[in-house]
Amino acid sequence: QQPVQSPQAVILREGEDAVINCSSSKALYSVHWYRQKHGEAPVFLMILLKGGEQKGHEKISASFNEKKQQSSLYLTASQLSYSGTYFCGTEIPGANNLFFGTGTRLTVIP
C-alpha cells in the first residue's frame, strides 16, 4: 500500500527544474505532498484530489493522474530553499489514513 517515489535522490543547480514521481498500485482518492528539511518536521505543500487537476504555488506545482494512479511534483527554477526530502502521501478507498512514500531527497547547490 506504500506508494513508490522516484527518483530516490536528485541534485540540482540553482535555476534547474526537477520532477518527482509518486506511483501507487491502488486506486487513489487523493495525493498529498510534504517537504521535510533536515532535522525538522514535515511541512504540507498541497493536496490533489481526483479529477487530474494541477495545483501549485509559486514555482512548485503538481499533477494527479487518477487512471494511472500517479502524481508528479514539478519544481521549476529551483532555489536553495527547495532542498529537503519530499514525501507523497496517498489516500486509498477504505483506509482512514495516508500511506507515505519513502521520500525523494532533493539537494539544490549554487
- Give residues in contact with other proteins (CB under 8 A): 2, 29-30, 32, 40-44, 47, 87, 89, 91, 96-103
Cα atoms found within 13 Å of the Cα of residue 11, Cβ hemisphere only: 2
Q: What are the C-alpha distances in Å from 13 to residues 34, 88, 92? A: 21, 23, 35
C-beta closer to other proteins: residue 77 or 95: 95
CB of 46 to other proteins, least distance (A): 9
CB of 7 to other proteins, least distance (A): 14
C-beta closer to other proteins: residue 17 or 25: 25
CB of 106 to other proteins, least distance (A): 15
Residue given cell 530516490 in the structure block? 8
Please tell me what DSSP assigns to residue 8. S
Q: What are the C-alpha distances in Å from 42 to residues 17, 25, 85? A: 22, 24, 9
CB of 79 to other proteins, least distance (A): 22
